[in-house]
Amino acid sequence: MKTFKRLQLMAAFSFLLASCGTGDNGSAEADYQVVPLPDQIEMTEGKAFTLTGSTRITYPGGNEKMERNAAFLADFLELSTGIRPEITTDEAKKDAVILSLGLQDENPEAYRIQIDRQNIWIEGASEAAVFYGIQTLRKSAPVGNYSHVTFSPATITDAPRFGYRGMMLDVARHFQPVEFVKKYIDLLALHHINRFHWHLTDDQGWRIAIDAYPKLMEISSMRRETVIGRNTDEYDGTPHGGYYTKEELKDVVAYAAERYITIIPEVDLPGHMLAALAAYPELGCTGGPYEVARKWGVFEDVLCPGKEETFTFLEGVLTEVMEIFPSWYIHIGGDEAPKTRWEKCPDCQARIKELGLKDRNGHTAEHYLQSYVTARIEKFLNDHGRSIIGWDEILEGELAPNATVMSWRSMDGGIQAAQMGHDVIMTPTEYCYFDYYQTQDTEGEPLAIGGYVPLEKVYSFEPAPDQLTAEQKNHILGAQANLWTEYISDPEHVEYMTLPRLAAMSEVQWMQPGKKNYDDFLTRLPHLRALYDKLGYHYATHVFDEKSR
């Protein structure tokens, strides 16, 4: 009787500890049903591995990336479970998480995790692959404060469907501090994303320090005030701006690279250039004066390709951009560039004449003038060993010979480009625009641009449609979500619009399409949510609220 009572008391006590989330919750079990779901999880016979304070992480000595991987794993496990394994290069026969290279797989991001009573073995085809194995293991771990975590014996075999798994963040409309950009990069890594498309210039702000053009920092980086709401005629009277120094940019590039994320910088041209024109009005068709935009939209004032100085400017800027960003891809924008100024500009018209451009195939001579700009910039970047990505408007007129197309207005541009043998990244508004509302009940929501892209819609996205042949599908490099920040000023709101939709996008990017299942995804999401809470990310709760109703 006495013993029974004591047991009851102990049970109540441990329940109390568990529910407080503080103190030692004792032991818990890992769950491999993570997001994105690994390709194969085979549960095997035998006893479980137990992670405790005496467990070690080993990695091959002399490999800096693997050393960093080991440190990431130690940090991640400590953060999730409270258990911090010691890191060593000693070969361990038992009680160790062993990180190694050498997995034979044609996919360089493939990894395998083998778990038995003695060890957890993460073997990758590359250091990046080992990192994804680490992310899977850390997401499997329970979130709490434990003295023991058991990992059931299993073999997990995994590799991504797409090599390009992207997320875009616009810091031109609202500047975001470096510390937050790093936290955002951590979030991308948690979702196995390997490309961070950084939208750094636009009408409302220029965010990259360029030595040759200092007025980009002095003038273009700051707008006088910002329109209130959706282009009401009222303004907040408060200057908004900021730019990243070269040291900061290089630091962020290195931070991302440590997490196997390539930063693709975007310098949007020839449109979306008002901020630069405000500093260098001689690069516009009318000569200005221009002002850094205080409201949102598509502006008629764009760069003047009739003037040679425009190309001197762009090549100067891109030369410095290449010094900062080692990415093979440089995004040159190309979207939403009205042709109205070019139609009236003597310099542009002289250029059109000189090049012999004519209206044809449903496009005007001015469209072909934009193609000329794109092709000329492409050649400049190709000559420096880089390659361009442009928004799908670069298809209008003549597509630059080596361009990769980012299809945003719909899938059509991407389909057309793939049929022409060009590489494509799919990011259509309908599935991939995270600035759109996540619910139809917008009353209680923070202001958004409009639209409706709920979690399930993101999840249903198929980036390689069946209109394409197998060969053409090979040109679909991957998918990306975009977050434009006209209506998003602070980091918490950026996170709220991103999560949990990024979780759905990660399954689109990572999983084989036949294995995706939305209902199953919903059962796996709460565990990831616990990690969002632990890591201090803000997220939308609609999908969780609906489930509990």
State the Cα–Cα distance between residues 17 and 23, nearest whole angstrom: 6
Which one of Zn ion, ligand ACM, none interacts with residue 105, CB within 5 to 8 A by kind? none
**Nearest residue (CB) to ligand ACM, 248 versus 335:** 335
The residue among 336 and 462 lying less far from ligand ACM, judged by its C-beta, is 336
Cα–Cα distance between 227 and 225 in angstroms, integer?
A: 7
Whether 320 is a known active-site residue: answer: no
CB of 484 to ligand ACM, least distance (A): 6
Closer by beta carbon to ligand ACM, 116 or else 392: 392
Nearer to ligand ACM, 39 or 335 (CB): 335
- Which of Zn ion, ligand ACM, none binds 408 (CB below 5-8 Å, type-dependent)? ligand ACM
In the structure encoding, which two tokens stand for residue 190, read together?
Answer: 């948690």
391 binds, among Zn ion, ligand ACM, none (CB under 5 to 8 A by kind): ligand ACM
Shortest separation between residue 97's beta carbon and ligand ACM, angstroms: 42
391 in contact with ligand ACM (CB under 6 A): yes
31 binds, among Zn ion, ligand ACM, none (CB under 5 to 8 A by kind): none
User: Pairing relation of β-strands 164-170 and 49-51?
Assistant: unpaired
Residue 95 engages ligand ACM in binding (rule: CB under 6 A)? no
SS3 155: strand
Rounded to the nearest 10°, the torsion over CA 413, 417, 420, 424 is: -160
Q: Are 38 and 157 in contact (CB under 8 A)?
A: yes
Query: Least Å distance between CB 414 and ligand ACM?
Result: 13
Stretch that binds Zn ion, among 105-113, 249-257, 293-301, 348-356 (CB under 5 A): 348-356
Name the residue nearer to Zn ion (CB basis): 345 or 415: 345
Residue 72 tokens read as: 């990431």
What are the start-end ranges of the H helices in 114-234? 127-140, 178-190, 215
Least gap, CB of 195 to Zn ion (angstroms): 34
Which residue, 177 or 297, is less far from ligand ACM as judged by CB?
297
How far from each other are the two terminal CA atoms of the chain, in whole angstroms? 41
Q: Which is nearer to Zn ion, 227 or 285 (CB)?
A: 285
Q: Which is nearer to ligand ACM, 164 or 260 (CB)?
A: 164
Three-state SS at 357: coil
Residue (184 or 436) nearer to ligand ACM, CB:
436
- Within 8 A by CB and 6+ apart from 45, the residues are 153
Of 148, 192, 272, 367, the active-site residue reads 272
- Strand pairing report for 240-241 and 222-223: antiparallel
CB of 145 to ligand ACM, least distance (A): 44
441 is known as an active-site residue: no
Give the count of beta carbons closer than 10 Å to the beta carbon of residue 4: 8
Active site residue 95: no
Catalytic residue, from 336, 347, 462, 490: name it.
Answer: 336
Q: Which of 285, 411, 417, 477 binds Zn ion (CB under 5 A)?
A: 285
Q: In this complex, which beta carbon is closest to ligand ACM, that of residue 391 or of residue 532?
A: 391
Give dist(CA 29, CA 43) in Å, integer.
Answer: 14
Q: In what order do the strands lie in the sheet with 86-88?
A: 40-43, 154-158, 111-115, 119-124, 96-101, 56-58, 86-88
Could you tell me which of 185, 345, 356 has the C-alpha nearest to residue 254?
A: 185
d(CA 86, CA 107): 31
**Which partner from the list Zn ion, ligand ACM, none does 335 bind, CB cut-off 5 to 8 Å by kind?**
ligand ACM
Question: Which one-letter amino acid corresponds to residue 8?
Answer: Q
What tokens appear for 265 in the block?
A: 């910088």
At its nearest, how many Å lie between ligand ACM and the CB of residue 265? 15
DSSP 472-514: HHTTEEEEEEEE--TT--SHHHHHHHHTTHHHHHHHHHHS-GG
Q: Give dist(CA 465, CA 451) in Å, integer.
A: 23
Helix axes 346-355, 365-383, angle to 10 degrees: 80
Q: What angle do CA 166, 257, 391 make, to 5 degrees?
A: 30
Smallest distance from ligand ACM to CB 159, Å = 30
Pick what 491 binds: ligand ACM, Zn ion, none; C-beta below 5 to 8 Å, kind-dependent.
none
Task: Give the whole-angstrom CA distance, residue 198 versus residue 167.
Answer: 8
Pick from 39, 105, 258, 347 the residue near Zn ion by CB under 5 A. Answer: 347
Total residues contacting ligand ACM by CB under 6 A comes to: 4
Alpha helices in 265-307 (DSSP H): 274-279
**Which region, judged by CB under 5 A, interacts with Zn ion, from 14-22, 161-169, 305-313, 526-534?**
305-313
Q: Which does 348 bind (CB under 5 to 8 A by kind): ligand ACM, Zn ion, none?
A: Zn ion
Site string for ligand ACM, 400-439 (x = CB under 6 A): --------x-------------------------------
- Per-residue binding letters, 331-350, with ligand ACM (x by CB under 6 A): ----xx--------------
* Residue 345: contacted member of Zn ion, ligand ACM, none (CB under 5 to 8 Å, by partner type): Zn ion
The single residue among 96, 185, 348, 424 that binds Zn ion, judged by CB under 5 A, is 348
Q: Does 280 bind ligand ACM (CB under 6 A)?
A: no
CA distances for 543 relative to 142, 451, 455, 518, 548, angstroms: 21, 18, 8, 12, 9
Which residues, in sequence order, are CB contacts of 248 under 8 Å at separation 6+? 178
- DSSP category for residue 447: P
Smallest gap from residue 267 Cβ to Zn ion (A)? 19
Q: Give the interface segment with Zn ion, choosing from 324-332, 340-348, 380-388, 443-451 (CB under 5 A).
A: 340-348
Q: Which residues are catalytic?
A: 202, 272, 336
Q: What are the residues binding Zn ion (CB under 5 A)?
A: 285, 304, 306, 345, 347-348
Interface residues toward ligand ACM, by CB under 6 A = 335-336, 391, 408
